[in-house]
Amino acid sequence: MKKSALPDPFEEARVNKGYGEMDDQNDPVTMILGLKDLRKCAHNWKTFQSGAEPGRIVIPSEVNIRDTRQIPFEVDPPEHKDFRALVEPWFKRPLEADYKAALTQQINDIVDEVLTKDSVEVVGEFSLRLQSRALTLLLNIPYEESETWISWGTHVFRSEGEALDGDKANILYDYIDERISKAIENPGSDLYSMLLAATVNGKKLTREEVKGVMILTFAGGRDTVINAVTNSIAYFAEHPESLDKLLGDPDITGKAVEELIRYFSPLTQMGRVATEDTQVCEYAIKEDTRISLCWASANRDAKVFENPNDVVLDRKINPHVAFGFSHHNCLGATHARQIMNILLTTLAKKVKSIDIIDYKENIEELGEFKRKVGYDNLTVKFHTR
């Protein structure tokens, strides 16, 4: 097994029964594993809702550590649509030329920097820094602010060895509270100020709602991007020919981004709560129990993807669900895709090869399944082209 490979632990269950089971703090989850079933459930928000008790659709459940409803993530249609309409133009800004230029500069600088070092711990010294700096562009706030987020380390919600840590999550919540207060006193052209000035359905967003959007922006865009970037470095370390291919044929970069994101599926799954007794793949789902949409499994479904466990860099038809499906599809996808696109272009131009020196895999324990989602640490040496 290659060090950069992410095996698919769901295959047998997906093929034989279509679902898996895991317990989570006595609130069990039926995991939907096939692509077609998953899409149907994701689309059917009336039966499988997101707007349940705050924290319940996240696995592991966060009902015991927070009360703030994440917006638009934990809201169903029709309200969901109004919130999305409000924030969507903002989250499309990564397509603008200035944004792209600034992001390209950031990624160029950090790649140049790691090329000078004898060894680099990718998660902390590369991915976290790249992700935090890029987030200043998405929020439209000064670059220096990223220093604070970097100082929190990779595990902003948990202490070593503990899945969930309420105290640690409070660091983020308190920080956001303070920033909202500042933006109220002194409005600017940042995301906080935009939200504070906004109205949805004729009503101003409440402070709690603004907080919900901001926490989600931090939480949803952190580990996902860090894993996508770190896993890309591991992949290119073992596939230097792919760097050459991207350099020689830059037109495939967009397809390569989609394929890597499919293969990595940085978000394994997300839950929903059933609003009525129902069935998925002939399996009974009871009202008020949880299912999960297991994006990582659906993205390896051999009924849809040829050679699902291979990275086919220029895969032409790639109907993956790594960014979700239907109403709640990822709001940060434009930003994430732009990061990946520029990262691949920059690595192909500057890097000849990468050696893996040391690594520790990050394995999620999901009931009967164990899934590698990335690395706790990955130490490499970058070589200049």
Build a one-symbol-per-residue string for 249-278: x at contacts with ligand HEM by CB under 6 A, - elsewhere: ------------x----xx--x--------
SS3 state at 15: helix
Exactly one of 93, 168, 255, 381 binds another protein (CB under 8 A); that residue is 255
Q: State the binding partner of 258 from another protein, ligand HEM, none, CB within 5 to 8 A by kind.
A: another protein
CA–CA gap between residue 295 and residue 270 (Å, rounded): 8
Q: State the binding partner of 36 from ligand HEM, another protein, none, CB within 5 to 8 A by kind.
A: another protein
Exactly one of 373, 375, 378, 382 binds ligand HEM (CB under 6 A); that residue is 373
SS3 state at 52: coil
* Cβ contacts of 287 within 8 Å, gap of 6 or more: 274, 275, 276, 277
Within 339-378, which residues bind another protein (CB under 8 A)? none
Exactly one of 38, 94, 221, 285 binds ligand HEM (CB under 6 A); that residue is 221
Q: State the binding partner of 331 from ligand HEM, another protein, none, CB within 5 to 8 A by kind.
A: ligand HEM
Q: State the binding partner of 295 from ligand HEM, another protein, none, CB within 5 to 8 A by kind.
A: ligand HEM
Stretch of 186-194, 203-211, 299-307, 329-337 contacting ligand HEM, by CB under 6 A: 329-337
Question: Could you tell me what percentage of the chain is helix, strand and coil, using 3-state DSSP and rounding each to the nearest 5?
Answer: 45, 15, 35
| 138 binds ligand HEM, rule: CB under 6 A | yes
At closest approach, how far in Å is the CB of 354 from another protein?
25
At closest approach, how far in Å is the CB of 50 from another protein?
14
CA–CA gap between residue 80 and residue 326 (Å, rounded): 12
* Cβ contacts of 234 within 8 Å, gap of 6 or more: 3, 4, 122, 356, 359, 375, 378
- Do the Cβ atoms of 293 and 272 come closer than 8 Å? yes
Within 11-70, which residues bind ligand HEM (CB under 6 A)? 50, 58, 60, 62, 70
* Cβ contacts of 210 within 8 Å, gap of 6 or more: 180, 192, 195, 196
Count of residues in contact with ligand HEM, rule CB under 6 A: 43
With b for 16 or more beta-carbon neighbours within 10 A and e for fewer, the 276-286 pattern comes to: eebebeeeebe
| 258 binds another protein, rule: CB under 8 A | yes
| 196 binds another protein, rule: CB under 8 A | no
Q: State the binding partner of 289 from another protein, ligand HEM, none, CB within 5 to 8 A by kind.
A: none
CA–CA gap between residue 305 and residue 299 (Å, rounded): 8
Stretch of 30-38, 196-204, 214-222, 344-352 contacting ligand HEM, by CB under 6 A: 214-222
SS3 state at 51: coil
| 335 binds another protein, rule: CB under 8 A | no
Exactly one of 5, 24, 36, 247 binds another protein (CB under 8 A); that residue is 36
With respect to another protein, which residue has the nearer C-beta, 39 or 239? 39
Residue 360 gets the label, from left (phi > 0), alpha (psi -120 to 50) or beta, of beta
Cis peptide preceding 240, ω within 30 of 0 = no
Cβ count within 10 A of residue 75: 22
With respect to another protein, which residue has the nearer C-beta, 62 or 74? 74
| 328 binds another protein, rule: CB under 8 A | no
* Cβ contacts of 44 within 8 Å, gap of 6 or more: none
At closest approach, how far in Å is the CB of 101 from ligand HEM?
19
| Alpha helix segments (H runs only) across the chain | 11-16, 35-43, 79-91, 97-115, 128-139, 145-151, 166-185, 191-197, 207-220, 223-238, 240-248, 253-264, 295-298, 333-350
Q: Which residues form the interface with ligand HEM (CB under 6 A)?
A: 50, 58, 60, 62, 70, 72-73, 84, 138, 157-158, 163-164, 169, 215-217, 219-221, 223-225, 227-228, 261, 266-267, 270, 295, 322-324, 328, 330-332, 335-336, 362, 364, 373-374
Rule CB under 8 A: which residues touch another protein?
36, 39-40, 43, 77, 81, 84, 254-255, 257-258, 304, 315-321, 323, 325-327, 329, 333-334, 337
